[in-house]
């Protein structure tokens, strides 16, 4: 095993992990703010991927440029879903809210999957670009252009999200609601509007991730569950109170999975993530970047 092989593996681990991170950020934002686990997150990613695919196919638009349309459209989808499905559930407390939100999410998974099959069939689709397969080579190491673009977009998304959460009124209101929703109401914050924005933003991030997944992995109606599980592992690794920490945690998971393929059969790479998931829950339940108390970091 050469040094170049190890470095190339690490590089691809970073690229894969950057997608994990983007997928997980939206899930972590919704869970950290609203206290609900949206198991339909991966299927919303699938919907965003199909929107990006058809924008590219029908208009010839660059897939990364299409994110400027996919993001806002999925934001509106998130607002609609919150209004129709989650608005009343969020008023419930404790276990009742958790159980009802999970049931609604599972129902949404079935609806989105079956709708995607009816509309677009079960065939796998991939977004192709004029530079797909092209790479920048330096020192014998390969840097595919599409993967570099994913990493750059991921960093940009995290920076913008951090600025939104810490510099804008709605961002600060989301953090306040995550810390203590009752105190936020007493401070005059419209908690329902804040939850709507948080859920819509999480949905938009899922849609953006979906387009990136379609460029690099492929797209099908049943991909949602696997990406929800991957996002959940990253959220637990980062800590449910650390939204922006999900991105570096995703990169860390991608690197660990990539390194594992050097010593074990690549077929068992997915098992590595599940082992990390269990270990984090047992040894550090607040995650690597989270805090023990509730609230967004």
Quote the pLDDT of residue 293: 53
Q: Establish if 296 belongs to a structural domain.
A: no
Q: Establish if 66 belongs to a structural domain.
A: yes
Where the chain has pLDDT below 50, the residues are: none
What are the DSSP E strand ranges found in the chain? 135-138, 141-144
Quote the pLDDT of residue 2: 85
Q: Establish if 237 belongs to a structural domain.
A: no
Q: How many domains does the chain have?
A: 1
Quote the pLDDT of residue 295: 59
Q: Establish if 228 belongs to a structural domain.
A: no
Q: Establish if 137 belongs to a structural domain.
A: yes
Q: Which residues of 228-247 are buried (b: 16+ CB within 10 A; e: fewer)?
A: bbbbbbbbbbbbbbbbbbbb
State which residues form the domain around 105.
Answer: 19-221
Q: Establish if 190 belongs to a structural domain.
A: yes
Alpha-carbon dihedral 27, 198, 102, 78, rounded to 10 degrees: -100
Quote the pLDDT of residue 262: 87
Spatial CB neighbours of 102, under 8 Å, sequence gap ≥ 6: 36, 37, 39
Q: Establish if 88 belongs to a structural domain.
A: yes
Q: Establish if 275 belongs to a structural domain.
A: no
**pLDDT tens by residue, 33-81:** 888 889 999 999 999 999 999 999 999 999 999 999 999 999 999 999 9
Quote the pLDDT of residue 287: 83
């Amino acid at each position: 095993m050469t040094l170049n092989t190890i470095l190339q593996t690490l590089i691809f681990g970073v690229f894969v992990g950057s997608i994990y991170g983007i997928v997980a950020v939206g899930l972590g934002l919704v869970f950290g703010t609203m206290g609900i686990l949206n198991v339909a997150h991966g299927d919303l990613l699938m919907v965003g991927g199909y929107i990006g695919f058809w924008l590219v196919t029908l208009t010839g638009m660059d897939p990364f440029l299409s994110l400027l349309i996919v993001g806002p459209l999925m934001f509106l989808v998130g607002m609609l879903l919150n209004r129709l499905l989650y608005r009343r559930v969020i008023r419930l407390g404790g276990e009742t809210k958790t159980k009802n939100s999970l049931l609604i999410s599972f129902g949404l998974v079935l609806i989105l999957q079956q709708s995607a099959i009816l509309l677009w069939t079960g065939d796998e689709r991939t977004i192709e670009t004029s530079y797909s397969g092209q790479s920048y080579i330096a020192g014998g190491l390969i840097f595919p252009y599409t993967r570099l673009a994913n990493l750059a977009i991921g960093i940009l998304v995290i920076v913008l999200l951090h600025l939104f959460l810490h510099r804008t009124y709605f961002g600060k209101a989301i953090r306040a609601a995550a810390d203590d929703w009752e105190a936020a109401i007493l401070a005059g914050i419209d908690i329902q509007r804040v939850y709507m924005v948080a859920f819509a933003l999480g949905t938009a991030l899922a849609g953006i991730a979906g387009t990136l997944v379609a460029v690099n992995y492929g797209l099908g109606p049943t991909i949602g569950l696997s990406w929800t599980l991957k996002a959940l592992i990253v959220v637990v690794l980062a800590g449910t109170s650390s939204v922006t920490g999900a991105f570096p945690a995703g990169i860390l998971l991608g690197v660990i999975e990539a390194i594992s393929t050097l010593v074990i059969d690549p077929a068992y790479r997915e098992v590595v993530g599940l082992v990390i998931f269990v270990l984090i829950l047992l040894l550090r339940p607040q995650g690597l970047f989270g805090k023990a108390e509730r609230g967004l970091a």
